[in-house]
Structure 1
Amino acid sequence: MVKVPAVKRRKLTPPTTDGEDSPSTLDNAPQTGSFFKQASSWNLEQDYESRPRKGTKKDKESTRLPIKTSDGLVQQVEVSEEAKEESDLEWLGADDSEEEVVEEVKKPTIPMRQQILEAKEEMARIALMLNEDPEENAGAFKTLAQFGQSQNTTIKKLALTVQLAVYKDIIPGYRIRPLSEDDMETKVSKEVRKLRAYEQALVGTYQGYIRELSKLAQSGRSGASRDGGPSLGSVAIACACSLLTAVPHFNFRGDLLKILAGKLSTRKVDGDFVKCRETVETLFQNDEDGTPSLDTVSILTKMMKARGYRVDESVLNTFLHLRLLSEFSWKASTNHVDKPSKEDGGFQGKKLKEKRVFRTKKERKLVKERKVVEKEMTQADATVSHEERDRMQAETLKLVFVTYFRILKMRSPNLMGAVLEGLARYAHLINQQFFGDILEALKDLIGHAETGDDVEDEGEEQDAETTRNLTREALLCIITAFALLEGQDAAQAKSTLSLDLSFFITHLYRTLYALSLNPDIELSAKSLHLPDPNGHSVPLPTANNKINIQTTTVLLLRSLSSVLTPPLAARAVPPLRIAAFTKQLMTSSLHVPEKSCLAMLGLLGKVAKIHETKIKALWNTEERRGDGTFDPLGMEVEGSNPFATTIWEGELLKKHFCPAVREGVKVMEKNILGLR
């Protein structure tokens, strides 16, 4: 039989008696007693009732009434917990998320003054860092440009001016060209690679700065802002003008010129307009190689053509500041330039001899060697530049003549004075083959002045500031026609030119009486006029005219000087012409104001000195031979028969109320009567 193991029996603790306690019981007795004492005060039912129930959304009781559908079924409307929570939150005003609420609480509100102060300090630190070492801090350009995108107008203005100062200081004296693919593939040293990276960063940020200036300048917000300072548009235009004056050789010069041309295209002359015009004039005067002037003239002429030549007169007068008037010596027209031949020896004149200075033999040797080196350097450095500058100036001159001739053909009212004055100033640079076209245009203008026709385009309203003064235009045409002849060389003008200017002389002779009766003869086109008290406050015709700044008397005397006292090469003036004009001027002196009378007598005194033998018969009847009557209103100068009359106006002028007029008549007659 298999032996079965004995069953183990547990040792049971004997039951305690009333007088005995076990050790464990004795240890836990106080804790157990306190536990039961607390448990007796518990309200377990109330805790269970207040405990949240766990269950699905379906188990929740709906407090809404059932509805009856269109099919006749009765359904219970169930409300989702999410909608309920949203409605509760909406009722409590807690629509924003917790993150947004926390973010709003954490973000403090900084005062505007503090923001501007911090921006100033940061921009000053960046600018100082760029000025010290721009190559090492090329990334600071973008940081500085980010301030220009601020919503605060003051910070934006400060950013524009700070960038202007930085660029003016660090822009190199050469133009940075873009890198080609071959340049990128070529292996270069570390220094060259660093320099290229800096130059590309400079050009990129500079281009963005120019675009920002262009956008602000075209916004139309010019003048003063609400706080009394300049607006963003005015600040942008000022920055563009400063850059164009300081660094005209650098990249994106054309973009800067477009900003100025856009402002000059307006008819409103304000502070920004004047600043742009003065910048263009300074650019013309300081240009040495001719390229900036050519770009500027090209952009201005395109702008004028696009605007239909409806621009301010002062914009066209900027052409008179070109260095062509003093440096260029070739003859040009709208499509041709006459270059001097080698036989003529070019355009270089003879140099004056310098005063001889005593030098020792060693000093003379050193001076000679230095001159040889300087000559080689000059030839190697300036041969191409002179040819390039002459070519640039020739192209510029052609663009100027094209603009002048187009305006002359269009008869733009407010630009005729500037065009005719410009042609008179550039007369020595005009090709002789171009004379015929110009004279025909001038004759056409004088023809309109005689007939009084003022042709205007149909459908266009005639502005007050474009009122034409045909008399002044005719005088300017006469001055320009004679200036063309006087501007040519005397030898060439005598041999090759055969210009007939009798048309202009006849028109001047016929208008002398009308001009002497003009009450505004001593007022310029831009003089202030008082309203006529008997004309119901209607302004005079010349009140708003913009033709020229010179008075009618000055224009008349310039025309008479060209006719009566021409240069020495053309002193062959017929006696009948001199006598007829002298008689007309003496008669006109009786009707003009005091200052104009003095000016005419001064001109007659000069004529008497030059042509005394030709006009002395007007004072002495015994020294002339002829008969007939004098025709002061004749259509021809030579047909008026001036020697049939005498100068009797001098006796009246001797009793003039002005002592200077009386003295002027005596001086003039002393030269004439002293010949006997």
Structure 2
Amino acid sequence: MGKKQKQKVTLPPLLPPEVPEEEIEVSDEDVNFVTKNRAYAGFVSRLDTQSITKHVSRVANTKEDDLEALYEKRLRKKTLENEEKKGIEVDRVDALPVKTLDGKLYYKTVPKEAKKSEDSDKENENEGDKGVFKLNKAERRAKLKKKKKDEKKQGKELDQSEEDVPQNPQSDVLVEVKEDLTAAEVAEAKQLKIAELGTALLADPESNIKFLKELLSLCKDGDKSIEKAALLSSLVVFRDIIPGYRIRLPTEKEQEMNVSKGVKKTRYFEATLLSSYKAYLQRLITLQRLPEFNRVVVRCFCTLLDAHPHFNFSDNLISAVVRNLSSGDDVVRKHCSTTIQSLFKNEAKHGGEATVEAVQLIANLVKIYDCQLHPDSIDVFLALSFDEDLARKTADDDKAKRKKNKRGKNSDEQSRRAVSDNKRSKQELVSKTREEVNADFKAASLALDETEQRRMQARTLSAVFNTYFRVLKHTIQLDTIRSKINATSSVVPRGAHPLLSSCLKGVGMFAHLIDLDFMADLLKHLKILASGTNSGHSESPLTVSERLECCIVAFKVMRKNLDALNVDLQDFFIQLYNLILEYRPGRDQGQILAEALKIMLCDDRQHDMQRAGAFIKRLASSTLCFGSAESMAALVTVKNLLQKNVKCRYMLENDVGGVSGSIVKYHPYSSDPHLSGALASVLWELNLLSKHYHPTISTMASTISKMTTASNQVYMATVPPQQAYNELLLEKEQFNIKSDMKLHNKRKRGDHVLSGEDESSSLEVDEDGFLKKLSHHFTAVHDIAENEKLRRELDLATLSLQLHDEYKKRLKVKKEGSKLKKRKHL
């Protein structure tokens, strides 16, 4: 029990203040109390003062001088513990102070648990040792164990409190800022690393080729900006260090052979370059699926293919570029089409093999997507160039070889009889050596063999025309299917034929290379597309511009194969005659109309008089509703036809009334120009066109109307319709139409200028007066409408009043009748 009591007593009681006995004053009440109660106060005389002083001091065998210092030390320690229990002051940056009314600032505090350090523990132990009660070994061990348990409990409580207490947001922001700063520094370091590796590779590729793998490793970095920079830097490196030949890795036998250091270095360079190039292309293919890397990857593909189409893995590059020819991104599509066109034009870099591969891939792409691609996918065919004389030269060479072989056989038979066996063996050796030398020379020269060129050109042409014919066939089949589906409807929806226009341009460009066996079928399909008879409706699913292009292509095919073809193109003239009426400015393309007029009417030297007159009359009538550029192209065509057909000029004579013939009546809506009877009509449209707002058109119309059978001098006599159309389009941008409400546009006879100068009329517009007239007109119309409305309301009101009066009269009559009946009964 004594030990337990010693352990429980931890802190000594405070000593009373030291007061000298002389100053102590005892009251009378205290003295009376003690005298009355001596039995209760007798224990005081029996107290042991020495033991009391020992227990209070808890210090055995200490002197009075040391005792004062010991108490001061304990007091100082107690004040520190009290301050720790009260709390610690929060950092002034983390919390705002509170200002009291007296002007003092108080900062917030956070409670903090008192933790005893090892030094304080040692001091307590020393103090305990110095005290009266000393612990034995067993008690010390028990105390240490208890202390460890308490420390573990305090640690767990601190961890839980840290989890419960929310983190400081400002510290989180500081951590994020530090992370961003470190990330920026890391990114900058990686960019510097990319620049250093690229510079080292470009400076000495063979010695620093090992850095290429390290550069490619940065292409797989998690940061997108770093990956893009690494991809573009690798692109520049590969573009500059790739050799001008195709790398062939050595075989196992070649690797076992002893070679020099230079050969080993070159082999190591080629092997490392080829493996790195392959890894780079694989990385590009994987990144192409991501939309943010699409443009960068396509740029890398196009640049490598344009720079080195001869190098290894060029087939993969061509397929990747061809797949993006019909991309929805305009930048990607334009980049790919430009690359393919340069590939077709620069065949010296690859010898024509890449051209054949690209054309076949495009043909397969059109077949897979069923001709539903962007026009740029086959517009690249227009950049192809074919040698027209190659087939002729090869045919002549074959004939010459056959003749030489026949002559050679006869001469060999004669020489065999005359020459001995020794001479024969010498001639055979000489011929063999010549053949070997020629073969080596062809292999060393950059130029390809003519037979190889002919083979590649044949493969290219076959793929191109298969694509064109597939597009034409698909267009016809699609129109027939839609015509069956929409047979009940009155209007057939226009189908989408994205590749038809590009196909017709290509057929017209390469028409001289088409085999004659396919000409009849080609013209048949063009006739169907131009007429639109496959749809079964009056309105063709093709546009007017597409039908005009079919007519243009048919004439180009016929003229380029004029020696071998004898085809009647009357059906195409009929289609052009009808399409002029269907043309609408703004909806259809005027450039195609001008080209059709030039090829079909102006370039044709021989014209039937009935057909020429029909086209002259229809063009003159359509000019009244055309735009200025289309009108100019039509008038130039009319002028050309009148110059070539002198008898058609009688249509300009108003008093004669046209040319009388087998058809004396004019049919303006006839579909056949031979049955229109246009020669019996008069070109009265020129009189209206001479008053056109555009001075160039009015001048042209007036000069055509003054043509006679003797004179051929006409304004703009040698200008084709296409040039007239383009010139007036450019002139229209700067031309301002001036209108005049006053009649100042009276013209005198003979004022028309026959030279190439435009007429200038001084027209004035009174805008204020015009606005006043318009306002007066609209106010008058508004007043009239209001008056009519009020009159209708007045009529309804009067009618309702009349009905009400009649109703009242009838009620009065009924009441009077009822009163009379009552009187009679009474």
CA distance in 2, matches of 1:468, 1:238: 39
Higher helix proportion, which one? 2
Query: Is residue 532–residue 541 contact of structure 2 (8 Å, CA) maintained in 1?
Result: no
User: Unmatched 5+ residue regions in structure 1?
Assistant: 1-38, 54-83, 95-107, 222-231, 332-336, 347-375, 456-466, 524-541, 543-550
Matches within 5 A, 1:56-205: 111-205=182-276
**1:440 counterpart = 2:524:** yes
Q: CA shift at 1:203, angstroms?
A: 0.6
CA offset digits 1:305-340 (Å, max 9, x no partner): 222222212222122222x1xx52269xxxxx8876
Identify the match of residue 137 of structure 2 among 39, 47, 55. Answer: 47
**1:505 counterpart = 2:573:** yes
CA offset digits 1:480-501 (Å, max 9, x no partner): 111111223xxxx24x212232
Match of 2:680 in 1: 644
Q: CA shift at 1:235, angstroms?
A: 2.0
Q: CA shift at 1:414, angstroms?
A: 1.9
CA distance in 1, matches of 2:311, 2:198: 20
Q: CA shift at 1:472, angstroms?
A: 1.9
CA distance in 1, matches of 2:318, 2:443: 33
Identify the match of residue 626 of structure 2 among 551, 568, 592. Answer: 592
Judged with a 3 Å threshold, the aligned counterparts in structure 2 of structure 1 residues 554 and 135 are, in CA distance, closer, same or farther, namely: closer
**1:342 counterpart = 2:391:** no
**1:603 counterpart = 2:637:** yes
Query: Is residue 294–residue 395 contact of structure 1 (8 Å, CA) maintained in 2?
Result: yes
Q: Which has the higher contact order (CA 8 A, sep 6+)?
A: 1
Q: CA shift at 1:189, angstroms?
A: 3.3
Match of 1:328 in 2: 387
Task: Give the secondary structure class of the aligned counterpart of 1:341.
Answer: helix
**1:293 counterpart = 2:355:** yes
Matches within 5 A, 1:464-479: 469-479=542-552
CA distance in 1, matches of 2:538, 2:378: 22
Q: CA shift at 1:281, angstroms?
A: 2.6
User: Partner amino acid for 1:646?
Assistant: V
Judged with a 3 Å threshold, the aligned counterparts in structure 2 of structure 1 residues 343 and 249 are, in CA distance, closer, same or farther, namely: closer
Judged with a 3 Å threshold, the aligned counterparts in structure 2 of structure 1 residues 257 and 501 are, in CA distance, closer, same or farther, namely: same
CA distance in 2, matches of 1:401, 1:124: 49
Query: Is residue 449–residue 471 contact of structure 1 (8 Å, CA) maintained in 2?
Result: no
Match of 1:408 in 2: 472
CA distance in 2, matches of 1:152, 1:588: 65
Identify the match of residue 591 of structure 2 among 554, 571, 579. Answer: 554
CA offset digits 1:554-605 (Å, max 9, x no partner): 22222222222335xxx33322222221222222222322322221111222
CA offset digits 1:416-465 (Å, max 9, x no partner): 1121122122223222222222222222223436857599xxxxxxxxxx
User: Partner amino acid for 1:607?
Assistant: L
Match of 2:554 in 1: 481
**1:276 counterpart = 2:310:** no
CA distance in 2, matches of 1:91, 1:658: 92
Match of 1:548 in 2: none
CA distance in 2, matches of 1:623, 1:643: 5
CA offset digits 1:116-175 (Å, max 9, x no partner): 221122222222222232222332111111111111122111211111111112111111
Q: CA shift at 1:276, angstroms?
A: 2.4
CA distance in 1, matches of 2:676, 2:294: 63
Judged with a 3 Å threshold, the aligned counterparts in structure 2 of structure 1 residues 234 and 657 are, in CA distance, closer, same or farther, namely: closer
Match of 2:651 in 1: 618
Judged with a 3 Å threshold, the aligned counterparts in structure 2 of structure 1 residues 177 and 378 are, in CA distance, closer, same or farther, namely: closer
Judged with a 3 Å threshold, the aligned counterparts in structure 2 of structure 1 residues 295 and 453 are, in CA distance, closer, same or farther, namely: farther
CA distance in 1, matches of 2:259, 2:544: 71
Query: Is residue 552–residue 599 contact of structure 2 (8 Å, CA) maintained in 1?
Result: yes
User: Partner amino acid for 1:668?
Assistant: I
Q: CA shift at 1:669, angstroms?
A: 4.2
CA distance in 2, matches of 1:377, 1:111: 63
CA offset digits 1:508-563 (Å, max 9, x no partner): 11232332xx3xx2x3xxxxxxxxxxxxxxxxxx5xxxxxxxx5332222222222
User: Partner amino acid for 1:311?
Assistant: L
CA distance in 2, matches of 1:43, 1:140: 78
More deviation in 159-168 or 591-600?
Answer: 591-600
User: Partner amino acid for 2:396?
Assistant: K
Query: Is residue 328–residue 390 contact of structure 1 (8 Å, CA) maintained in 2?
Result: no
CA offset digits 1:344-388 (Å, max 9, x no partner): 999xxxxxxxxxxxxxxxxxxxxxxxxxxxxx9999735535553
CA distance in 2, matches of 1:575, 1:46: 143
Task: Give the secondary structure class of the aligned counterpart of 1:135.
Answer: coil
Judged with a 3 Å threshold, the aligned counterparts in structure 2 of structure 1 residues 179 and 628 are, in CA distance, closer, same or farther, namely: same
Match of 2:614 in 1: 580
Match of 1:307 in 2: 369
CA distance in 1, matches of 2:666, 2:397: 54
User: Partner amino acid for 2:578?
Assistant: R
Match of 2:103 in 1: none
Identify the match of residue 654 of structure 1 among 684, 687, 690. Answer: 690
Match of 2:310 in 1: 249
Q: CA shift at 1:658, angstroms?
A: 3.0
Q: TM-score, normalised by structure 2?
A: 0.54
CA distance in 2, matches of 1:442, 1:552: 19
Query: Is residue 220–residue 227 contact of structure 2 (8 Å, CA) maintained in 1?
Result: yes
CA offset digits 1:382-430 (Å, max 9, x no partner): 5535553443333222212111111111126122112112212222322
Match of 1:459 in 2: none
Identical-pair percentage: 27
Judged with a 3 Å threshold, the aligned counterparts in structure 2 of structure 1 residues 453 and 160 are, in CA distance, closer, same or farther, namely: farther
Query: Is residue 421–residue 480 contact of structure 1 (8 Å, CA) maintained in 2?
Result: yes
Query: Is residue 306–residue 343 contact of structure 2 (8 Å, CA) maintained in 1?
Result: yes
Query: Is residue 639–residue 704 contact of structure 2 (8 Å, CA) maintained in 1?
Result: yes
Judged with a 3 Å threshold, the aligned counterparts in structure 2 of structure 1 residues 397 and 47 are, in CA distance, closer, same or farther, namely: farther
CA distance in 1, matches of 2:132, 2:320: 89
Greater Rg by CA: 2
Query: Is residue 531–residue 575 contact of structure 2 (8 Å, CA) maintained in 1?
Result: no
- Report how many aligned residue pairs link the two structures: 502
CA distance in 1, matches of 2:225, 2:516: 58
Judged with a 3 Å threshold, the aligned counterparts in structure 2 of structure 1 residues 514 and 155 are, in CA distance, closer, same or farther, namely: closer
CA offset digits 1:246-296 (Å, max 9, x no partner): 222222222223332333333x23323322232223333333332222222
Match of 2:503 in 1: 419
Match of 2:300 in 1: 239
CA distance in 2, matches of 1:216, 1:93: 45
User: Partner amino acid for 1:604?
Assistant: V
User: Partner amino acid for 2:560?
Assistant: G
Query: Is residue 261–residue 300 contact of structure 1 (8 Å, CA) maintained in 2?
Result: yes
Q: TM-score, normalised by structure 1?
A: 0.65
CA distance in 2, matches of 1:128, 1:645: 82
User: Partner amino acid for 2:363?
Assistant: T
